[in-house]
Structure 1
Amino acid sequence: MPLSPPVPRALRHTRAIQVEAFKRDDGLWDLDARITDVKENDVTLASGVRTGGTPLHELSLRITIDLELTIVDAEAASDAVPYPGYCDVISPAYKQLVGLSLVKDFRAGLKERLSGVLGCTHLTELAQVLPTAAIQAFANDVIKTRDGAGDLLPNRPFQIDKCYGLRADGPAVAMYYPRWVATTASS
């Protein structure tokens, strides 16, 4: 169901986040993430006027992960920033992502290494979407979801209890994975 019709309004700002996942020939995976902020109208910053329609932020982050979802390489680039010569010098700090696991305490490690003045607010925010993007990239390729296998599954599908829709005691699990539905004991 789509959102309700909006009241009359005028677009002033667009933030876009895009993540693309690539399987590499060496068995590793790259996640290329980009965040852009664009104002519709001219905006005056301390660093000067930014013409409407041009990016205020255009930042990229690439992480390379292994099949266990551990980051083995990372790089960042700042192609458009509000304070050139200042914002864009922090990119090398994102090498500190190397060694973090996307599935075990990633956001805590990210915060510890790159929050506040240790990093760029926007690049660090962008990094927060990488765990779920990686899981989506790996689903049915690296992580077998076993969708369509019905009740013949030998092991519980990994996606059960990862969200509201696929909660073990919910109707979707009862319909698509009846063997794994959780029932409450009645007295």
Structure 2
Amino acid sequence: MPLAPPSRRSLKHTRSIQIEAYAREDGLWDIDAQITDVKPREVRLESGARPAGSPVHDLRLRLTIDTEFNVVDAQSASDAVPYPGYCDTIGPAYRRLVGLNLARGFRHGVKERLGGIQGCTHLTELAQVLPTAAIQAFAGEVIDTRGAGQHSEKPFQLDRCHALRTDGPAVARYYPRWVVKTPAEAPSN
């Protein structure tokens, strides 16, 4: 279902986030992320004016991970920033992501290692969306997401969102082996 029709409005800002995942020939994966902020009008900053349509932010973050979601390398680049010579010096700090695991405590680790003045607000925010992007990249490639009867382990995605809760109708329909009956539904002895 689409969003409700908007009232009359004019575009003031566009933030774009793009994430691409690549399987490498060495068995590792690169998760490349980019965030851009663009305004349709000239922006006057303390550091100088930015022409309409040129990025105020154009930032990139690459995490190299293994198939267990461990971050084995991290790098960042700042191609457009509001304060050149200042914003773009924080890039090496993102090596602090090495050793974190995207599937276990990653967001907390990012805040702890790069929150506030320890990092760039935008790169740190971008890092926060990478766990689910990596899971999507691994789905069907590294992680078996099928729930057919021959699998002995519960599919990874179950109980990770509202739709795929094991006591819900989607799991009952698509993953019946893994459905959990609520006390009211369970047969009594």
Task: Identify whether the pair has TM-score above 0.5, normalized to the shorter chain.
Answer: yes
Query: How far has the Cα of 1:179 moved from its partner?
Result: 1.7
One-letter identity of the residue aligned with 2:177:
R
TM-score norm. by structure 1 comes to 0.96
Q: Which residue of 2 aligns with 1:180?
A: 178
Query: How far has the Cα of 1:153 moved from its partner?
Result: 3.6
Q: Which residue of 1 aligns with 2:57?
A: 57
Give unpaired runs (5+ residues) of structure 2: none
Q: Identity, % of aligned pairs?
A: 65
One-letter identity of the residue aligned with 1:105:
G
Q: Which residue of 1 aligns with 2:14?
A: 14
TM-score norm. by structure 2 comes to 0.95
Query: How far has the Cα of 1:185 moved from its partner?
Result: 2.0
Query: How far has the Cα of 1:13 moved from its partner?
Result: 0.4
Query: How far has the Cα of 1:154 moved from its partner?
Result: 2.7
Where do 1:1-187 residues align within 5 Å?
A: 1-146=1-146, 149=148, 151-186=149-184
Distance 1:145 1:184 in 2: 24
SS at match of 1:135: helix
One-letter identity of the residue aligned with 1:167:
R
Give unpaired runs (5+ residues) of structure 1: none
Distance 2:153 2:42 in 1: 56
One-letter identity of the residue aligned with 1:178:
P
Q: RMSD of aligned C-alpha atoms?
A: 1.1
Query: How far has the Cα of 1:64 moved from its partner?
Result: 0.2
Distance 1:177 1:144 in 2: 13
Task: Tell me how many residue pairs correspond in the alignment.
Answer: 185
Cα-to-partner distance string for 1:32-84 (whole Å, 9 max, x where unaligned): 00000001111111111111100000000001001110000000000000000
SS at match of 2:74: strand
SS at match of 2:110: helix
Cα-to-partner distance string for 1:98-146 (whole Å, 9 max, x where unaligned): 0011011111111111011101000000000110000000000000111
- Mean CA deviation greater in 5-14 or 153-162: 153-162
Distance 1:118 1:128 in 2: 15
